[in-house]
Copies of this chain bind each other. A is one copy, B any other.
Amino acid sequence: MDLWVTEYQTPSLGFSCKITETLRNEQTRFQHLAVVETLQFGKMLLLDGMVMTTDKDEFVYHEMITQIALNSHPNPEKVLIIGGGDGGALREVVNHPAVKKGTLVEIDDRVITASRDFFPALSCAFDHAKAEVIVEDGIEFVKNQTAEFDIILVDSTEPVGPAVELFSAPFYKSAAAALKDDGMLVVQSESPFFNQDVIQMAFKGVQQAFPITKLYLASVPTYPSGLWSFTVGSKQYDPEKIMTRGSSCKYYNDEVHQAAFKLPDFVADIIGEGK
């Protein structure tokens, strides 16, 4: 018998992995959550049927949503992660030598529990001395902060359900207010091949709240199209310029940092920066 899990990455595109077992399959207060054991990628976390992370390729996404800002900010002491309940981004944050405190605000505690139960390489971060884990709506949390953080990372699902507001201009403005006057914001902003509208929404929204806005790319095999974008807003520092140095990584390095900002023409066109 063959068991498969399929993510419909678009209505016309299926991404299927052979699985050996279903480890968790539940409706939480906020979303459907599943953990399956795949042959190709090891354990896989899905929310509302969308692949969030897997054992085998989590390193790309988690390094690339964190290390660009961590290493272009000269002194990233206080870092806030909105979403990211699997703990992967938090692991990267607390392992950076310059960071003094990494705060994770996840709306759905069942994601945290699933990570603790099945993803030890991600959930290890929850118990780190520098880590603070808060179960709360990230949008409300950010509204109540002023000039508090050096970096805010938005590690969300795509803009459906609880994550819609995380892609809105008002949220980016309240994130800017929650950052110190030299702070940086990074948001995952989907695939340049499939989600041009999301990239435009994120990029234009961030641009309204930050004087410096740039897009960068990374290759995540389990995300639609395999090419993923991140939008970074910065009040002062150029996110392309490396200022600090973290621990060694599997995907990220100094050259990858700079190469990630070199956009193919069709990607530059999406954000109105084509030649």
Contact = CB atoms under 8 A, between A and B. Distances in A.
A266 interface: yes
Contact of A250 (B11, B14, B59, B265): B265
A251 interface: yes
A220 B226 CA distance: 8
Contacts of A253: 264-265, 275
Interface string A146-190: 000000000000000000000000000000000000000000000
Most chain B beta-carbon contacts within 10 A, residue among A220, A255, A260, A266: A255
Interface string A227-241: 100000000000000
A260 B258 CA distance: 11
| Copies of this subunit | 2
Contacts of A266: 59, 250-251
A270 to B, nearest CB: 12
A37 to B, nearest CB: 11
A259 B250 CA distance: 17
B256 A262 contact: yes
A225 to B, nearest CB: 4
Nearest to A258: B262
A232 to B, nearest CB: 17
Contacts of A221: 193, 225-227
A39 interface: yes
A262 to B, nearest CB: 4
Given A6-B16, A219-B219, A221-B226, 16 more contacts: A10-B40, A12-B38, A12-B40, A13-B18, A15-B16, A60-B264, A193-B221, A219-B226, A219-B227, A248-B275, A251-B266, A255-B262, A256-B263, A258-B259, A259-B260, A259-B262
Closest 8 pairs (CB-CB, A-B): A226-B226, A259-B259, A14-B16, A259-B262, A12-B39, A255-B262, A221-B225, A12-B18
Interface of A: 4, 6, 10-18, 38-40, 57, 59-60, 193, 217, 219-221, 225-227, 248-253, 255-256, 258-260, 262-266, 275
24 contacts: A11-B39, A12-B39, A13-B17, A14-B17, A60-B264, A217-B219, A219-B225, A219-B226, A219-B227, A220-B226, A248-B265, A249-B265, A250-B265, A250-B266, A251-B264, A251-B265, A251-B266, A252-B264, A253-B265, A255-B263, A256-B262, A256-B263, A258-B262, A259-B260
